[in-house]
């Protein structure tokens, strides 16, 4: 297994929703592994900006039980004003029930000032089914009821709301040759008590290995919120281009 130690991202990731499918690893040995990453971008002259990001991840496995904790913070300023201010932390535990079926529980907290979100806390538990699981291809579906507690920023009155959502996802991966892979995942998170209140997150990525330790990554993110707070746009689209350095886990 390989772990991401350092990622130099040339574009920012999608907003408040977080694609946790891409946070999974295939660690199959007992023990723990730690990974850290950092990114930075700056410019001076006619345009001045500074953007930095730091993150980390801890994976652990004991027998058939596996879990991980991951977190990241991104800050950016241009011409004295903040244009990026977001952070999140996510913890998940998975226990197999059958060869193709697993139970999982998670908790997550995040913040995104550009989305007018002071804090969003999620707690959930559900099932994950592996429809296809092979070295060259994988397809999985998940179903997780979750409690969501949101606190909007002071500009929107600091309103707090607690709702129940049903998080469903479809995740797929396909190897294209010995050093390239295509992956995609789509989340749909409808609110349990309000018809038409739904959040959707889609992500597609291509990873191409340049060498055994360096890979080029291109990722497309699409996020839609049918009822965003304040005057926030309903749909966000972003593209990431990244150079990834991989080191073997101990």
User: Are 39 and 50 spatial neighbours (Cβ–Cβ below 8 Å)?
Assistant: no
For residue 227, give both structure tokens: 């009822």
Quick one: pLDDT at residue 19?
A: 55
Q: What is the pTM of this model?
A: 0.71
pLDDT of amino acid 247: 54
User: Dihedrals φ, ψ of 22, to 5°?
Assistant: -75, -10
* 56-72 tens-digit pLDDT: 888 888 888 889 998 88
Predicted local distance difference test score (pLDDT) of residue 32: 83
C-alpha–C-alpha distance, residues 62 and 53, integer Å: 31
Q: Which of 187, 221, 216, 235 is nearest to 21 (CA)?
A: 187
**How many Cα atoms within 13 Å fall on the side-chain side of residue 75?**
3
Domain encompassing residue 47: 2-248
Give yes or no for a contact between 238 and 218, defined as CB atoms under 8 angstroms apart.
no
Of 89, 24, 97, the C-alpha closest to 61 is: 24
CATH code assigned at 218: 2.40.160.40
Burial class (CB in 10 A: 0-12, 13-18, 19+), 9: buried
d(CA 160, CA 120): 10
Using an 8 Å Cβ cutoff, are 117 and 111 in contact?
yes
Q: Could you say which residues of the chain have pLDDT below 70? A: 1-29, 46, 153-158, 242-250
Write down the residue that tokens 């001045």 correspond to. 48
3 state SS for 35-103:
EEEEEEEEECCCCCEEEEEEEEEEEEEECCEEEEEEEEEEEEEECCEEEEEEEEEEEEEEEECCCCEEE
pLDDT at 10: 31
Tally of domains in the chain? 1
The angle formed by the CA atoms of residues 55, 58 and 64, to the nearest 5 degrees, is 150
pLDDT at 182: 92
């Amino acid at each position: 297994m390989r772990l991401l130690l350092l990622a130099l991202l040339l574009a920012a990731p999608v907003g408040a929703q977080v694609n946790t499918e891409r946070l999974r690893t295939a660690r199959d040995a007992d023990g723990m592994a730690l990974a850290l990453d950092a990114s930075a971008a700056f410019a001076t002259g006619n345009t001045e900006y500074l953007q930095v990001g730091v993150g980390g991840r801890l994976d652990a496995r004991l027998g058939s039980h596996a879990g991980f904790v991951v977190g990241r913070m991104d800050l950016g300023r241009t011409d004295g004003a903040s244009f990026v201010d977001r952070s999140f932390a996510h913890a998940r535990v998975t226990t197999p029930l059958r060869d193709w079926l697993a139970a999982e529980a998670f908790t997550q907290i995040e913040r995104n000032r550009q989305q007018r979100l002071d804090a969003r806390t999620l707690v959930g538990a559900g099932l994950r089914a592996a429809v296809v699981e092979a070295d060259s291809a994988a397809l999985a579906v998940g179903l997780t009821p979750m409690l969501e507690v949101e606190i909007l920023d002071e500009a929107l009155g600091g309103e707090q709301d607690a709702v129940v959502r049903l998080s469903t996802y479809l995740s797929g991966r396909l190897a294209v040759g010995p050093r390239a892979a295509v992956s995609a995942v789509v989340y749909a998170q409808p609110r349990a008590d309000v018809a038409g209140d739904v959040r959707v997150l889609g992500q597609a990525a291509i990873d191409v290995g340049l060498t055994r330790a360096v890979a080029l990554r291109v990722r497309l993110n699409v996020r839609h919120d049918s009822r965003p707070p304040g005057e926030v746009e309903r749909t966000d689209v972003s593209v990431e281009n990244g150079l990834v350095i991989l080191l073997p886990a101990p």
